[in-house]
Structure 1
């Protein structure tokens, strides 16, 4: 439910806050709710929700309650149908909203339809569209290549591994071979030890009856239920690039949802929103043709404004061992590299942006905070490249590192930038696309 998780967060934030509407508040609380952290208690809580006995239903009118329940029952039926002695669904910390989206997707056969349904039930404004970057009923996974040659497989292992063993993958030179005869007598080495360990882990997972194809990478089958996004082990080397993989670890190049390209071509502004750079933003940009649409969508040089809202702190993806930390220029370089690589580079090819003046084709403005823990901003260097920087007010993040944006100040900064008139044909300054 990885795709569901990402879109749910955006949808819930779009639900209007209405102090005068208890129904809206109750629905928002319902879809934002997570089951308890104890698996047995979580299963009991889930059954209370499905059977309409849970306190969360208070304040939700009966017609919406029964509509929501129908899709929750649909996913519950699928869970029960797939249950095996070796594979039982773990409800620990499961999101009710994610379960609803999955149930709606299974019923309609379309993830877009599931998103539309949730938006309609929750009252998301009609002028706001949440578009999945890939409109598919199948899971899509990514791998990250570090500058030292290490490859990390799976979004969770890249961003917030739940165990040290999954924090770092195998290097490119020691990826497991699926054709090697395991009975060959070869000198014992780190490579053969890795092959044996991988083969043992793969066999153990293949004995489990679940929805994964036989032979799928074990790391993609692991449940990442308990993790902390803070205090994770630093990467041994900075991330060089990311790519999509199939269940067997081979690189693929998926096509984007056509609506994504249409939206970029019609937009006067693209906003790279706050979020994880390599596991949230760039997976959207490396899809075929997306980077070219940002650079030259509609034949007018792309959207006039391409705004990066710089994160208020660094995370595991934007720092590495030895004190290496990303600055604004590194964020922009990563975005430009991903966009350029989406145009048509061969699978496995690492595409660099040789001329930094090309950065402005993908980012024209950077909005940022200043304070302890925030990424550095190379204002003068970016100015030479034609990229404007806008510093705004923020506050300390009490629950973690860095700073947090003030919503009003951020809105004013965006309005000040986007409010500049765009006279190019077919452009509307109110047509804004956010990428996150």
Structure 2
């Protein structure tokens, strides 16, 4: 008799496998030795192990349907229950049981996933309907139309719901698109009417612009052209085939007028350019007065420069702030110098400075007398304390004297 942990062969050649329920007959073996019998049925067991392993892998890594997976499991379970192999058959049954649990769990998971997908599709379609209904009220014709077409493509890519729900949502979706298309058609019909009205208005404006093109009343005509331009903009656009031609005529008439005016103004511009050159020279002359050291002389010099400045005519408008700003800078410096001179010569301020200086000088003299007296009495500590106080008072006196000097005292 031959045996291993999971089976044995008796003297008659009968092969047994050990299970939790006791020994089960595997089969009969007469062709060779008992060891060969065990080896043969052990190989059959290994084959079952391989098949179960492959099935486990398919269940875990592929989209094998639950039905096909359970069929394959039952097929393998029948082979295991037939006890035609030697090995741990109970372990194989346990693996198959776990695999059944996994398949069931996967089936429930897929069921839940399909429910989620259906719910997501419902929410997605409801969102598309809501957006389509909002777009149906939009006046952004191009953008809204393109977006509605994109929503249709998105709708086609979503799973179908139950027939009733899908039909109801599609009806709302389709109705929103139809409402938008109707409004857009009405809008463009109205727009065509407005463009025809704009064409008639612009033809009238062109006729007036062309009648003014040879005018030499520069101010009034330029002002009227500005009014015509405002009316042109307010009129809106004509049809595309008329708009460009009308604009070219309108602009061309203005160009004739403004070219003539520019020719007349060219001489004036040349004169203003020369004026600018002269004023820049005067501004440079004024800037040489800075920094101001002699206020009286600087004031007189600036007054003379300013008289020559006023005698010069206009300069180009765009250069005016720059060149006038240079003169204003010098003028402000003179004003600041005058204010400083006034503060310096102000009698009240001088009197206050002199009073403060006198008080501090008296305090310093008094402290010096007290120091001499303390030293004469041999009171060194008191003398040193008074000297420290004297240093502070002396510093204040020095500052006051310096301030008094600014008043010329």
Q: Give the structure with the larger strand fraction.
A: 1
- TM-score in same-fold range (> 0.5): no
Q: Give the structure with the larger helix fraction.
A: 2
- Name the TM-score, length of structure 1 as normaliser: 0.15
